[in-house]
């Protein structure tokens, strides 16, 4: 257990030290050849990066960590995509928006850990990505974002497999529509635990990994991006639990951005408009089309199509949000070196910042 826990401190620091040309490598455990430099880490060390640097006077591509094995630095090929070589984690990635975000990141060259409470579903989703791309670039990891122990275990797995985390997409989200007059405390807690507390705990789990990388490579930034909602920018009738959790998420984003900038971490939110094609809206049993229809939120609506038409009529561009729309925002925030603490609308003009 001691060695496993220490890996989450050693490998991200090693990534930073081995960085080349403003790029962090993926770390792969290999068989020891015997000619690699050997680094010893003091138990309980407060500055692992400094210890590694002191013992590696010249740049290296493979290093033996005494007691933990030998790790090789693997760098992306030139021209490999917009996020080539980055290690990304996407929560809520077994299906819907999260899965499509993970697919897009993998196609653009990232190593992707898909994380979801649905363990079987997320492993199948990762296998589907690997099959599509013809190479092992994705892994499925079980996680409950509202549980500290589950998050720590998931982060340990990702670090052990890849060496660290460059991009964390906090996408996991749930919704229970209902009036403030009638919504149950159970439903309120369900929404808040995932959308607000889950975001907070997720950042608490991944930020130390990114900070360790930054100690070794202070010029390289990491990114945390929360997939928020237009309901985090404007209130939502008979949907206060969800909207409130998303407003709170933007407060967390702004606060995290102020604090984590010293660790080379940018923190931003993306606020999409309605994503009708995913299960959040279209699931015939639990989706928002059904919830809004049943709750009477849309006057006169009798079918799912009536609900959809009502919401599309509110959008100047007359359509819902799509994954490509959101991916443009994600890539912008990753590539923009002078943007943190923002809540970026992707709403077709339905919500405009003032």
Catalytic residues: 242
User: CB–CB of 292/301 below 8 Å?
Assistant: yes
User: CB–CB of 88/169 below 8 Å?
Assistant: yes
- Locate the DSSP E strands across 32-123: 38-39, 62-65, 69-74, 87-91, 111-116
| Measured CA angle at 342 (ends 262, 179), to 5 deg | 125
Question: How far is it, in rounded angstroms, from Cα 340 to Cα 298?
Answer: 36
Within a 10 A sphere around the Cβ of 329, how many other Cβ atoms? 19
Cross-strand partners of 65: 39, 69
Left (φ > 0), alpha (ψ -120 to 50) or beta: where does 329 sit? alpha
**φ and ψ at 17, to 5 degrees?**
-65, -35
| Measured CA angle at 136 (ends 66, 157), to 5 deg | 45
User: CB–CB of 140/101 below 8 Å?
Assistant: no
Question: How far is it, in rounded angstroms, from Cα 47 to Cα 311?
Answer: 53
User: CB–CB of 199/227 below 8 Å?
Assistant: no
Question: How far is it, in rounded angstroms, from Cα 195 to Cα 197?
Answer: 6
The number of angstroms, rounded, from the C-alpha of 190 to the middle of its chain's C-alpha atoms is 20
DSSP state of 353: -
User: CB–CB of 71/16 below 8 Å?
Assistant: no
The CA distances from residue 162 to 7, 198, 204, in Å, are: 11, 23, 19
């Amino acid at each position: 257990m001691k060695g496993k826990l220490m890996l989450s401190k050693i490998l991200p620091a090693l990534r930073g030290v081995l960085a080349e040309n403003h790029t962090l490598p993926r770390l792969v455990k290999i068989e020891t050849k015997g000619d690699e430099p050997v680094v010893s880490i003091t138990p309980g060390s407060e500055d692992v990066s400094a210890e590694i640097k002191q013992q590696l006077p010249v740049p290296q591509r493979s290093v033996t960590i005494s007691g933990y094995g030998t790790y090789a630095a693997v760098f992306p090929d030139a021209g490999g995509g917009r996020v080539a070589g980055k290690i990304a984690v996407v929560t809520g990635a077994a299906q819907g928006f999260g899965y499509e975000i993970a697919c897009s990141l993998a196609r653009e060259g990232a190593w992707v850990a898909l994380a979801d409470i649905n363990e079987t579903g997320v492993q199948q989703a990762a296998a589907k990505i690997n099959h599509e791309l013809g190479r092992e670039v994705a892994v499925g990891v079980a996680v409950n974002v509202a549980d500290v122990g589950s998050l720590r275990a998931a982060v340990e797995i990702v670090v052990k497999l890849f060496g660290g985390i460059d991009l964390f997409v906090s996408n996991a989200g749930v919704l229970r529509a209902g009036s403030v007059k009638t919504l149950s405390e159970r439903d309120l807690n369900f929404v808040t635990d995932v959308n607000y507390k889950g975001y907070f705990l997720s950042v608490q789990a991944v930020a130390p990994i990114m900070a360790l990388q930054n100690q070794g490579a202070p010029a390289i930034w990491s990114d945390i991006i929360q997939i928020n909602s237009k309901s985090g920018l404007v209130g939502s009738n008979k949907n206060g639990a969800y909207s409130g959790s998303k407003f709170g998420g933007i407060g967390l984003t702004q606060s995290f951005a102020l604090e984590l900038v010293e660790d080379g971490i940018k923190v931003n939110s993306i606020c999409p408009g309605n994503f009708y094609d995913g299960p959040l809206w279209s699931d015939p049993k639990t989706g928002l089309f059904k919830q809004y229809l049943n709750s009477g939120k849309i006057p006169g609506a009798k079918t799912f199509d009536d609900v959809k038409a009502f919401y599309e009529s509110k959008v100047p561009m007359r359509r819902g949000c799509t994954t490509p729309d959101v991916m443009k925002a994600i890539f912008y925030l990753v590539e923009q070196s002078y943007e943190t603490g923002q809540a970026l609308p992707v709403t077709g003009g339905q919500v405009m910042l003032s």
